[in-house]
Chains A and B, each alone.
Chain A
Amino acid sequence: MEAKFSANAKDVMGKRGLKEADIADVVASAESSNRKLSKNGTNLAKKRIGEVTMYAVYDNNGEVQSAYSHRMVLGEPVKTTDEPDISEWTCVHCNEKAIISSANMSYLGVTRTGPALVCPKCGDVWIEEYLATMTIAAAEGLFEKKKA
């Protein structure tokens, strides 16, 4: 599947400093490996490229709706409860509903726990767009400030 970019998606990516080639790579990798989340015809794919984890939100035709990134390196899931809330996303690889949970994440040599979507079967970890672009971005900034 080849990624296609609407003007709106290009605008968002431009503001977030993301390159089309990288996001196309994210989509291609997810489609070839079947490692992605899916929700009502929308897919969420991710790939670590250089020092950044990049995400693509795209439909089943490869039309990219949004893209975002974070610098934190995602680690293992952290189990918080026996009765987690279930998200609307499904891990396509495992055909399991992702749970709203926590995961370790590392930045500048520091590992802390943050909110994440987790596949309960394969343990893959994902950060949703609102978290990556606000909470996690602010946390990265705080790490940089406190480490300075």
Chain B
Amino acid sequence: MGYEELFPPYNMEWHGRATKRFANPFVGEKFERIDVDPIMLSHAAVACGYTIRDFYEKPELGYSCLVYMYQLYDLLPVGHWFYASPWLAELGCKMVQKDTLPPIPDSTPVETLEDVDKLEVPSEEDLRKGTTYPQYQRLYEYVQKNYPHTFVPISYGFDPVGEAAALCGVENFIMWTFTEQDAAHKLLDKFTQTAINGAYCTAKDYGSAMLVVASVLANNDIFSDEAIREFSVKYMRQYIDKSFRGGAGPQIFYHCCGNQETSYKEFHNLIWSPFTVIHFGYKGKDVFPSELLVKEFGNRATCMGTVDTKLLINPNPKAVYDQASKQVIAGRDAPRGFILGAACECPPYTLPANILAMTQAATDHGTYGKW
């Protein structure tokens, strides 16, 4: 029995509506309301009675949970399954499954500056024999067979600074950005090139590859604006530019998480495609204001406004509704469209009432023709 048999038939009528709604920001249509994407991952498994570990250990189950829960919450017609540390296994990290976390690296293969030089970038062929890409191949085969209408081939560059730091230890990496900048750049370049090779594999096998790349560790709580430009934006650009040259794209999701209080301006220099979504988490301690997001980036990308993830586990749906409403009102006229999201992944134990509060805010304040 496949995991899909644990779920009732996928509701194609709902899917048709959700697909039309999801197209709104990209083609300038105004069907129903502003869409909501709380960046759901293992919450879907938890909501279906499984565990966080199940979600990451059994991608096919995780995906089945996700597309089922999307129907309940009236979210997106496309699915995604990922964790924030792709390609590290191929670069020498021992990845371990945890009960309450996504897979995490349990070792730092780069201890010294010499190790940086010795680290080899896995080729496309290497990646095809590794861990990360075959996992996606299996999952994508499963999705194409069981949920073909929800399938989008996605390749993850994720957070180059965070992944480089995972290879040598976060403290080491941050220190190197001051004292051994060449080593920091080499490590970033090697991780980024690995992720690019992953994008090439996806583009070759599936004809295209949505690109997801982030700046998470590189935020103003740790780095200056200049350092974010030099160590994060530069490699995000490199990832997109080179991946495009190998046929990946055209969709891009830029996830700029953490506190991007003043560094948000650095991200103007990213590469933009006609199907780009940009997302910021926080400005200082506050959720990133949609007014500013739209003012800065609204003329070049679809803007994803945020609700504070901390609110999503608080038993106070009104607080979620109020913040979501404020963000929708501020972002709903964005020239390239607006999506309501959470500041980062919605927590596994997110209260369903809080997701309802988000969609209710999108309905009350983001229904086209009502404002």
Contact = CB atoms under 8 A, between A and B. Distances in A.
Interface of A: 72, 78, 80-81, 83-84, 102, 105, 107-110, 112-115, 130-131, 134-136, 138-139, 142-143, 146-147
B272 to A, nearest CB: 4
Contact of B250 (A80, A110, A138): A138
15 contacts: A80-B269, A84-B269, A102-B300, A107-B274, A108-B27, A113-B299, A115-B273, A131-B244, A136-B274, A138-B250, A142-B250, A143-B26, A146-B26, A146-B27, A147-B23
Given A109-B28, A115-B271, 5 more contacts: A108-B27, A112-B274, A113-B276, A138-B249, A146-B23
Contacts of B23: 146-147
B176 interface: no
A112 B336 contact: yes
A138 B27 contact: no
A72 B250 CA distance: 14
Interface string B300-329: 110000000000000000000000000000
B250 A136 contact: yes
Contacts of A109: 28
A130 B276 CA distance: 18
B247 interface: yes
Contacts of A110: 26-28
Interface string B263-287: 0000011111111100000000000
A57 to B, nearest CB: 16
Given A105-B274, A113-B276, A147-B27, A135 B250 contact: yes
Contacts of A143: 26-27, 274
Interface residues of B, number: 25
Contacts of B208: 138
B269 A81 contact: yes
B276 A134 contact: no
B370 interface: no
A15 B300 CA distance: 33
Contacts of B276: 113
B269 A139 contact: no
Interface in B216-262: 244-245, 247, 249-251
B16 to A, nearest CB: 12
B268 A80 contact: yes
Contacts of B249: 134-135, 138-139
A110 to B, nearest CB: 5
Given A80-B300, A113-B301, A134-B247, A142 B26 contact: yes
